[in-house]
Amino acid sequence: MAMAYIEPAPIKDKENPLESMMSRFDAAARLLGISDEMYDILKVPARQVIVGLPVTMDNGAIKVFEGYRVIHSNILGPAKGGIRLDPAVNLDEVRALAAWMTWKCAVVDIPYGGAKGGIACNPRDMSAGEIERLIRQYTVAMLDVIGPDRDIPAPDMGTGPREMAWIVDEYSKAKGMTVNNVVTGKPLVLGGSLGRTEATGRGVTVAALSAMDKLRMNPYRATAAVQGFGNVGSFAAELLHERGVTVVAISDISGGYYNASGIDITAAVTYRNGNKGTLEGFSGAEKISNEELLSLAVDVLVPAAKEDVITDDNAASIQARMIVEGANGPTSASADEIINSKGILVVPDILANAGGVTVSYFEWVQNRIGYKWTLDRINRRADRVMKDAFDRVFETSQRYQVPLRLAAYIVAIDKVSSTYKFRGGY
Ligand code: NAD
């Protein structure tokens, strides 16, 4: 079952993740007219750490892995960002992802800077014991980097609650007391938060409903297609359906499933859960391809699977009235212009899928006050954060006459740069 919680991860644009993000950042910085000095302050990461991690493997041999942690900015508060285990992890990628976290936290107005970490390894080829020793080594190597008031890691590709629990344990041993708010995305019993698993899909739904409201679209008359039926996509589909939207198509790696009168999402979730996490063989719909799903004439298209699914190759065929980016980087920078020229409203990833990092922030807050909030309180507060962020970005897009994506970057850059001016420092 693909239910793992993964905190905001990549802008993975095949063209080049760093350049893709920076082109959007540059455009927003130009529109805001920030000074060259401020531009450099926002561009250059505050701290970049590379460590060598010797780990005793199960066969007794010692293997040395390379680990990274980049704090892009701590202007708004302690830095926040996941740790990924992947053979392709490198400093450049971690740097781009750390900057991207800065903008995402700023857009939803949570008091965090941006960071990211990674270890170049292939967790699929490693035993649980090897991964545990690696994570513990990484924690020790990063003792003076991470911390509840400095830099708070979270799960990302290849890590989850299990790894977060090991970090809490190793960090707590070094400090001589339990410090569970050194990371978020923990198991519930160790200070994890209720509502965190569904938080991103829920935030996507709030963003979609807010956008529908602006377009005077009645959810009860609207249709949606959701690509990806994992953590983000299935919760988004379920909640959109709950709010009256007819979800006519869903999909996963096995292909797309279409039903003009609406898919029974609860049945689809139950089917997937009993079918090794895949929709393969789901009978409540007609089989279509993922490519066909993207070009359906629906009101709302939610790409919630992976990066780079809407590119300059297929952007012209998109017929949706709006795209709400559940995934990170589903629209490549080269497709932006085509989509905009068609008048399609795009709620960008740094806004639409920020519900996850928002509830991570709530996890940290609850740990700090030593109290657990009810699910109801968490949902209400997270919905408010998402709604306010949407309104802020929408208002900015009207003021600057720019698409929501650029407006989101403007909101974020403006927030970080004006905070820096208040704090002083140059
Ligand atoms: P997941 O692994 O739970 O689910 C991914 C889903 O996409 C699965 O249903 C999978 O079958 C499907 N998929 C994979 N390749 C596909 C393809 N080529 N075509 C169609 N479907 C395909 O992952 P997730 O946590 O739901 O994350 C999805 C996206 O959302 C990623 O881009 C992730 O970075 C982003 N995101 C996730 C969170 C979170 O809280 N989980 C937060 C922010 C952003």
pLDDT value at position 18? 62
Q: By the 8 A CB rule, do 202 and 210 touch?
A: no
Does any domain span residue 408?
A: no
- 189 found inside a domain: no
Distance, CA 229 to ligand 1 centroid (Å)?
Answer: 7
Do residues 148 and 273 share a domain? no
Q: Is the dihedral of CA 152, 156, 159, 162 positive or negative?
A: positive
Q: Is 90 known to sit in a ligand binding site?
A: no
CA-nearest of 236, 246, 247, 241 to 325 is 236
Specify the ligand 1 atom closest to the Cα of 228.
Answer: 7
pLDDT level of residue 13 (50, 70, 90 thresholds): very low
CATH number assigned to the domain comprising residue 147: 3.40.50.10860
Kindly give the number of the ligand 1 atom that is closest to the alpha carbon of 157: 34
Burial of 232 (0-12, 13-18, 19+ CB in 10 A): buried
Q: 104 a known binding residue?
A: yes
In 3-state terms, the chain is what percent helix, strand and coil (to 5)?
45, 15, 35
Q: From the centroid of its chain, how far is CA 147?
A: 21
Q: Do 261 and 340 belong to one domain?
A: yes
User: Do 207 and 107 lie in a common domain?
Assistant: no
Q: Tell me, yes or no, whether 298 and 166 share the same domain.
A: no
Tokens coding 323? 């795209």
Number of domains in the chain: 2
- Residue 220 and residue 97 share a domain: no
> Ligand 1 center to residue 328 CA distance, Å?
9
- Final residue before a domain boundary, out of 301, 333, 352: 352
What is the average per-residue pLDDT within 103-115?
97
Q: What average pLDDT does range 173-191 have in this prediction?
A: 97
Output the ligand 1 site: residues, CB below 6 A: 2, 5-9, 200, 227-233, 251-253, 290, 304-307, 326-328, 353, 356
- Examine the pLDDT at 14 and tell me if it is beyond 70: no
Same domain, 216 and 169: no
Claim to verify: residue 124 and residue 249 sit in the same structural domain: no
The reported pLDDT for the residue numbered 6 is: 52
Pocket test for ligand 1, best of 231, 323, 350, 386 (most atoms within 8 A of CB): 231
Q: Same structural domain for residues 165 and 302?
A: no
pLDDT for position 17: 54
Atom of ligand 1 at shortest range from CA of 5: 41
Tens digits of residue pLDDT in 197-208: 999 999 999 999
DSSP 8-state code for residue 331:
B
Question: Is pLDDT at 426 greater than 60 in this prediction?
Answer: no
If asked whether residues 150 and 206 sit together in one domain, one would say no
| Residue 425 clears pLDDT 80, i.e. is over it | no
- Answer whether residue 244 is part of any domain: yes
Kindly state whether residues 161 and 79 are assigned to the same domain.
yes
- Residue ending a domain, among 127, 155, 182, is 182
On whether residue 375 sits in a domain, the answer given is: no
The answer to which of 23-37, 211-225, 285-299, 360-374 has the lowest mean pLDDT is: 23-37
Burial 81-99 (b: 16+ CB within 10 A, else e): bbbbbbeebebebbbbbbb
Look at residue 1 in the predicted model and tell me its pLDDT: 40
53 SS3 class: strand
Could you tell me if 116 and 220 lie in one domain? no
What predicted TM-score, i.e. pTM, was given to this entire model? 0.93
Ligand 1: nearest atom to the Cα of 9 = 34
Q: Which residue has the higher pLDDT, 218 or 93?
A: 218
Ligand 1 centroid to residue 100 C-alpha, Å: 18
Mean per-residue pLDDT of the chain: 93
Residue 21 binned pLDDT confidence (cut-offs 50, 70, 90): confident
Of the spans 157-161, 219-223, 308-312, which averages the highest pLDDT? 219-223
Sheet holding 246-252, edge to edge: 286-288, 255-258, 246-252, 223-227, 300-303, 322-324, 345-347
Taking CA atoms only, the protein residue closest to ligand 1 atom 41 is 6
Residue 55 lies inside a defined structural domain of this protein: yes
- State the residue range of the domain holding 211: 198-352
* Domain stop point among 182, 213, 241: 182
Task: Indicate whether 339 and 304 sit together in one domain.
Answer: yes
Task: Say how many Å lie between the CA of residue 305 and the centre of ligand 1.
Answer: 4
Cα-to-centroid distance, 230 and ligand 1 (Å)? 6
With respect to residue 162, please indicate whether it lies within any of the assigned structural domains: yes
Whether 342 has a binding-site annotation, put simply, is no
Q: What is the pLDDT of residues 346-385, one digit of tens each?
A: 999 999 999 999 999 999 999 999 999 999 999 999 999 9
Identify the pLDDT of residue 3: 46
CATH of the domain at 220: 3.40.50.720
Whether residue 281 is contained in a domain is answered as yes
Short-list 22, 172, 38, 189, CA closest to 98 = 22
Residue 8 pLDDT more than 50? no
Residue 224 has pLDDT above 60, yes or no: yes
- Sign of the alpha-carbon torsion through 294, 276, 128, 197: positive
* 343 and 159 Cβ atoms separated by less than 8 Å: no
Name the closest-CA residue to atom 17, ligand 1.
253
Lowest-pLDDT choice from 35-39, 62-66, 292-296: 35-39
Q: Report how far residue 14's alpha carbon sits from residue 307's, in angstroms, rounded to the nearest whole number.
A: 8
**By alpha-carbon position, which residue is closest to atom 3 of ligand 1?**
230
Mind listing the pLDDT tens digit for each residue in 313-335? 999 999 999 999 999 889 988 89
**Quick check: is 36 in a domain?**
no
Residues catalogued as catalytic: 116
Which residue's CA is the nearest one to ligand 1's atom 28?
Answer: 305
